[in-house]
Chains A and B, each alone.
Chain A
Amino acid sequence: MSATTLSRGKENDLGGSSGYLKWQAKAAPYLFIAPFLILFAVFGAYPIIKSLSLSFYATNGPKDAVPVGIANYSFLLSDPDFWIAVKNTVVYALFSIFLQLPIALGLALLLSQDWVKGRSFWRLAFFSPNLMGQVFVGVLFAILFQPQFGLINIALNKLTGGYIPLDTKWLNDSANVMPALVITSIWMYAGFNMIYFLAALQSVDKDLYEASAVDGANLWQQFRHVTIPAIMPVITFVLVTSTLGSLQLFELPYLLLGNGPGPDNAGLTIIMYLYDRGFVTGDLGYASAVGWTLAIGMLIISLIQVKLTGASREA
């Protein structure tokens, strides 16, 4: 805002403004970056430091805090509910990596073929589920997963000739909660990640394929030795971002399971655990300890992923 007033002032003061012009040219980069720095200080740096110190307190709402040392962390690590949340979140992330991403890459490989007609239509169709936010997807799929009349049971029942019964419970049966979550997230995110893979595939140098074809490489060898190395940076990017996204899963199960963890905590995720302990129970200190534990876990996992994919690029 200050920059606006500066430029106004200049327009009013035409004579003798060269000193001002010089000053504002020097100050401009700092003034332009200042809002980011101020907001970072207040809503980035401060909360991070504060959350670290807060994680050593037991609090009751924002007002009253009692120092407890590392008790939050030791309680966290001994709480079976936390480990259920970790297990669920990790299982979900593994399905994202090993099921959803290959589907996304497969669709992108199909669409990157030269002979495919109507590419922008297919791309739009596959991407469209991502336009719905997780909350709205949750509301819709909670109904689609209903026994008896839900679309998913009707379709599965018809396709399997009655093998999958109409009254299959998805969200009320602890064994089926995770499959339901995975199905929903594939619907929502496969097309989204496909966009990245497709953009990468389309920027691969066509000469590389021709050269390898001349050398007698078959389709699989081309894929393995030309395509994969060429799109490795994007694979790393998509792998890391979708893993981080999976580890922060919250809205989808929270909406699908009626604002709770589901039967036998089958849909409890780490963030749901954080939200419940921090904002429903009201212990912001404990929530901060959960947040730091998750952040450290996320950092370690993404470093490992970058290392692994980087190493395979060199091999």
Chain B
Amino acid sequence: MGRTIGRFALYIILVLAAILALVPFVWLIAATVKPSQDMFVYTFFGPRVTFKNFTELFTTVPFARYIINSVFIACASVCVQLFLSSLAGFSLAKYQFKGKKFVYLLMLATLMIPGQLTIAPTYELLYRMGFVDTYIGLIIPAAVSVFGIFLFERSMRQVPDELLDAARIDGCTEFRIYRDVVIPVSRPMIGAFCLIAFMGAWNSFLWPQIMLHSNHRFTLPIALNQMVNLYSQSYGLLMAGTFLAILPVIALFFLLQREFVAGLTAGAVKG
């Protein structure tokens, strides 16, 4: 009996915690479809449902353009990071070469260095290269992810050497082995890495805020911050923008949930 009551109490804690975690999302969705006169009359959904907030969003600001910018930058960034990080991970996982220890040391050093330390000189460097206010200036400094190298190095170690040697006997070049043998079997890690890298690029704020000056190049976080300053009282508009801005990450997460948890904890939990 005592055990049943205990379990019941613990379920109540779980339910309460889940409500606390999810209620802001419900409020957000309700706010996107409430007409402005109902916004504070009804705490959540009101009797009237409108999509005016969404249509206004695309007419008051170039929101479609911001979405395209964010999608382009995030996808380009993920592709470049995926290619270069998996290539480096493959090199460390499956080859013995001079200076390998040194590479590991550099990677650890990179993880220890806070990104904020390099902001000022990187900005200065990109300014001299003429990349301020360009997408290249956003993508190139983050083109290799050390976290990604570790992730791929770990998973590619599992690929049996016999498989690689068989391909070599068939006359495959090392790059073809990477492309046609190692990458196909690393699919779960690729899924996890894509989601983590996508979230990083999609939600990135400080660096784009520093780099981007032209309104038509803004990404969603920068644009939304600007909208808060310009239309601070238009809650429906801001919530509609926020809702659309978080939707892609949530969709991608549902698609890759299993791989994501595995990838996230791969570095921290052994076995």
Contacts and interface: CB of A to CB of B under 8 A. Distances in A.
Contacts, number: 264
A6 B267 CA distance: 33
B271 interface: yes
A292 B124 contact: no
Interface in B65-109: 84-85, 87-88, 90-92, 95-97, 103, 106, 109
B144 A36 contact: yes
A177 interface: no
Contacts of B221: 133, 135-136
Contacts of B253: 131
A284 B124 contact: yes
Nearest to B80: A35
Given A33-B88, A44-B113, A140 B120 contact: no
Interface in B114-148: 114-125, 127-128, 140-141, 143-144, 146
Nearest to A5: B175
A233 B39 CA distance: 48
A233 B95 CA distance: 29
A133 B246 CA distance: 8
A291 B24 contact: no
Contacts of B174: 3, 24-25, 28, 32
B268 A237 contact: yes
- Grouping DSSP codes into helix (H, G, I), strand (E, B) and loop, the B interface class, with mixed when no group exceeds half, is helix
Nearest to A63: B127
Contacts of A24: 173-175
A101 interface: no
Contacts of B242: 136, 139-140
Interface of B: 7, 10, 13-14, 17-18, 20-25, 27-28, 31, 39-40, 43, 84-85, 87-88, 90-92, 95-97, 103, 106, 109-110, 112-125, 127-128, 140-141, 143-144, 146, 149, 168, 171, 173-176, 178-179, 199, 202-206, 210, 221, 224-225, 228-229, 232, 235, 238-239, 241-242, 245-246, 249-250, 253, 257, 261, 264-265, 267-271
Interface of A: 3-4, 6-7, 10, 17, 21, 24-25, 28-30, 32-33, 35-37, 39-40, 42-44, 46-48, 50-51, 54, 62, 107, 110-111, 113, 115-116, 122-126, 128-129, 131-136, 139-144, 148-149, 151, 154, 187, 191, 195-196, 199-200, 203, 233-234, 237-238, 244, 248, 250-251, 255, 258-259, 271, 274-275, 278-279, 284-285, 287-288, 291-292, 294-295, 298-299
